[in-house]
Amino acid sequence: MRVTTSRIALVALLSALALAATACTTSGPRTTTTSTASPAAQPPPPNMPGSDRFYSQHLVWKSCGSNECTKLLVPVDYARPAGATIQLAVIKVPAKGTSKGALVVNPGGPGGSGVDYALAADFIVGKPVRKAYDIVGFDPRGVGRSAPITCVTASQLDAFLAFDPTPDDAAEEQAFADNAKSFASACAKNAGPLLANVSTVDAAKDMDVLRAALGQTKLNYLGKSYGTFLGSTYAGLFPKNVGRFVLDGVVPPELTNEQLNLGQAEGFERATRAWAQSCVDTGECVLGSSVDEVMQGLRDLFRTIDQSPVSDTGDSSVPELTEGWASTGVAYAMYDQSLWPQLDDALRVLVEHKDGSGLMSMADSYADRKKGGGYTDNIMQVIYAVNCLDRPDTASLADHERQAAEAEKVAPTWGAFLMWSSLPCAFWPDKPAAPPEKISAAGSGLIVVVGTTRDPATPYEWSVMLNKELANSTLITFDGDGHTAYTRSNSCVDDRIDAYYVKGTPPPADLRC
């Protein structure tokens, strides 16, 4: 599995999204066509030849609850713009005051729903921004409501995610490779022609079509986690179209799979040690009385579950809590420190009563899996489809074994788990069109980069890296825990970003919060 996702940033919003989900439809008795004026058509940029009909389209907005929904027409393949097309789901949550225009948002993934994210507008941006902007979200191609990619059945995905993520010998390594290859083959067989065209470059081009269809000469954007990769890719392709951009929790565009996996292994190790300290401070930590004891206890627990999976999962559709599920459950808690007490409780009942229901529930939350079986979205499938088109991988098991051993020296808890995670990309039916590369986005507007010092999934060093590479950017550092920073817990971060969006005021250089 991969963990380049900011989905856990929405933990506190799940109930709100559940209530709002019914408002995201363009059909049914609650839906009526609105009579909004169409913006003037815009010509495509020079690097988008043959895309005139997409740039000149007029969006037909329909009311959906208190919001507006529409569909954006884009080509399946931008190299063949006269060929097949798909429609992307788009939602606009109107500004609470006089609108300055649209702020397009993406929560990460790849595979996170921008529609669902926008529905949480009151929580994902500050009050001044909410008042000043229409919050616009779209489900990227292959995701959610936008021609979703499906590779395997729910039960097959269960088996894939439950699989041993840290092979210990040659036989287990070959079994892991067979599992990865089987998933890639299923995608090749079942996902359809869109599978070859869901790269981040494709999504970035869609985002410029959306900008034009919204009638904006500049794109104002908030991207978190993988959404920063999407944002920086957009800035590289269309630097002159960059408006007020915030990239929070950075995935640098030039990283190889090996570099990305190693960086995340170190990030999760750092975050897990922070959780371990918190657990020790409670005086009731079931895995030990010091940070090192807790970390070793967690590794020992993973090994024990690997050898003897736990039969009590609290869910009849999951026969065993395997190391794969257990690791996913623990990883889930690293995204937000508010989840640490829940992890403490789940580990306590697991160790003392061999009850894996708490950890399985957390794994379900990570994967958007429903208790009893089935998934609420396709993120755990499309995440591979996008990542594997963005970055190639090696099929050499010896290389992965070497990478895992080296990673375990700096990240003994998460090194092997992360270094093996990208192996499906070695067998992917479609290869990246170009290798990962640095992006400077020369000529762009100011891009605000945000990094959290103990972020597990997007290590702080990555935000520093991108800030140095972009031609026109500034860095906000948040000294804290959890994944991403804006609107999570710190007014210093929030106030500066709000002022940038609303007034155009740049944050102070090298701001630390």
Q: What is the pLDDT of residues 432-471, one digit of tens each?
A: 988 899 999 999 999 999 999 999 999 999 999 999 999 9
Do 169 and 38 sit in the same domain of this protein?
no
Amino acid, res. 177: A
Q: Which residue would you say has higher pLDDT here, 17 or 350?
A: 350
- For the cut 60, the answer to whether the pLDDT of residue 180 exceeds it is yes
In a domain, 380, yes or no: no
In a domain, 432, yes or no: no
Do 163 and 287 sit in the same domain of this protein?
yes
Do 15 and 85 sit in the same domain of this protein?
yes
Q: Please tell me the predicted confidence (pLDDT) of residue 435.
A: 87
Q: Which position has the token pair 């817990």?
A: 489
Do 247 and 170 sit in the same domain of this protein?
no
Q: Please tell me the predicted confidence (pLDDT) of residue 38.
A: 67
Among the listed ranges 164-173, 184-193, 313-322, 427-436, which one has the minimum average pLDDT value?
A: 427-436
Tokens linked to 475: 């860095």
Sign of CA dihedral 169, 172, 176, 182: positive
Helix (H) or strand (E) holding 270: helix 257-281
Do 58 and 204 sit in the same domain of this protein?
yes
Do 277 and 321 sit in the same domain of this protein?
yes
Q: What mean pLDDT is predicted for residues 307-325? A: 96
Q: Please tell me the predicted confidence (pLDDT) of residue 433.
A: 81
Amino acid, res. 38: S
Domain extent for 332: 154-184+259-367+393-427
Do 323 and 202 sit in the same domain of this protein?
no
Helix (H) or strand (E) holding 400: helix 397-410
pLDDT in tens, 101-122: 999 999 999 999 999 999 999 9
Q: Which position has the token pair 């921008």?
A: 114
Catalytic option among 315, 421, 463, 483: 483
- For the cut 50, the answer to whether the pLDDT of residue 4 exceeds it is no
pLDDT-derived band at 42, boundaries 50, 70, 90: confident
pLDDT in tens, 414-428: 999 999 999 999 999
Q: Please tell me the predicted confidence (pLDDT) of residue 171.
A: 97
Q: What mean pLDDT is predicted for residues 149-173? A: 96
* Domains: count for the chain: 2
What is the CATH classification number for the domain harbouring 70? 3.40.50.1820
Active site residue 35: no
Q: Please tell me the predicted confidence (pLDDT) of residue 218.
A: 97
Q: Is-contact 254 135, C-beta < 8 A?
A: no
pTM over 0.75: yes
Q: What mean pLDDT is predicted for residues 209-220? A: 97
Q: What residues have CB less than 8 Å from 134, skipping those under 6 apart?
A: 92, 93, 94, 95, 99, 101, 102, 103
Do 230 and 333 sit in the same domain of this protein?
no
Do 264 and 213 sit in the same domain of this protein?
no
Active site residue 455: yes
Do 444 and 356 sit in the same domain of this protein?
no
In a domain, 372, yes or no: no
In a domain, 378, yes or no: no
Amino acid, res. 33: T
- For the cut 60, the answer to whether the pLDDT of residue 23 exceeds it is no
Q: Please tell me the predicted confidence (pLDDT) of residue 37.
A: 52
Do 40 and 56 sit in the same domain of this protein?
yes
- For the cut 90, the answer to whether the pLDDT of residue 15 exceeds it is no
In a domain, 400, yes or no: yes
Active site residue 399: no
In a domain, 385, yes or no: no
- For the cut 60, the answer to whether the pLDDT of residue 263 exceeds it is yes
Percent of the chain with pLDDT over 70: 93
**Residues listed for the chain:** 513
Q: Please tell me the predicted confidence (pLDDT) of residue 41.
A: 80
Tokens linked to 218: 């500049």
pLDDT-derived band at 29, boundaries 50, 70, 90: very low
Catalytic option among 455, 481, 494, 498: 455
**pLDDT averaged over the chain?**
92
In a domain, 71, yes or no: yes
pLDDT in tens, 362-389: 999 999 999 999 999 999 999 999 999 9
Do 37 and 128 sit in the same domain of this protein?
yes
- Bridging pattern class, strands 134-138 and 85-93: antiparallel
Q: What mean pLDDT is predicted for residues 303-319? A: 96
In a domain, 117, yes or no: yes
Catalytic option among 51, 146, 199, 225: 225
3-class secondary structure, 15: helix
